[in-house]
Amino acid sequence: MTVASEKMSSLTIVSVSETIYNNLITSMVQDIVSRITSQKQLLDSRYPDMSPLFYDPQGKLDIHGQPKIQESSIYFRCNNCDRDISANRYAAHLERCMSRGNRKT
């Protein structure tokens, strides 16, 4: 393709390049913005009273704004022997509980 030179009077290579570049950039921005806004609209309509995840700059609180709970104060019910076992000793308990169960049968 060749272009007659008199047509170039009001246009320069630089200005046309600038336009093409701007087209590229703005279409990318529009793409990103439209995706984010429609995503947000969907979330808002589906969960009207959703609050954003909690952020603690000190790193002490979790995403619900709660401090860490001591694992030793949580208990799991062991299905094998039907006793409540402290969460941080559950693996150790299973090792003994399961093998004891095996020995019995």
Binding mask of the shown chain, residues 17 to 56, with x at each position contacting another protein by CB under 8 A: xxxxxxxxxx-xxx-xxx-xxx-xx--x------------
Shortest Å, Cβ 23 to another protein: 8
Contact (CB, 8 A) for 91 and 97: no
Q: What are phi and psi of 23, to 5 degrees?
A: -60, -45
Q: Which is nearer to another protein, 7 or 104 (CB)?
A: 7
Give me the residue label for tokens 């393709």: 1
Contact (CB, 8 A) for 36 and 49: no
In the chain the beta strands, taken as DSSP E runs, fall at 75-77, 84-86
Shortest Å, Cβ 70 to another protein: 35
Residues of this chain that bind another protein (CB under 8 A): 1-5, 7-11, 13-14, 16-26, 28-30, 32-34, 36-38, 40-41, 44
